[in-house]
Amino acid sequence: MAEVQCLLFAARYRQTLMETGFLDRLANQLKANKSAACRRAIQRILVRIKEHCESGQYKNTTDAENEFRRLVESDLACK
């Protein structure tokens, strides 16, 4: 039984890494050709979206990506 729990934990851990990895790549794409203030805002948003992703707030990566993009587009530093 303990082995099964360990495997479930490992699978969840790998899934979390995959989700946050895709967010890191997206953040780097969004930072391209942006001002320093906008890049800092994107970094702040990234941290918040990662926390939400890891807590299971989003059903899938598309939901997380859409929310990330929406928050960046609505941030005053990125307009």
Q: What is the pLDDT of residues 28-75, one digit of tens each?
A: 999 999 999 999 999 999 999 999 888 888 888 999 999 999 999 999
- b or e along 11-23 (b: 16 or more beta carbons within 10 Å of the residue's beta carbon)? eeeeeeeebbeeb
Confidence of residue 12 (pLDDT cuts 50, 70, 90): low
Residue at token pair 């780097």: 28
Q: pTM for the complete prediction?
A: 0.76
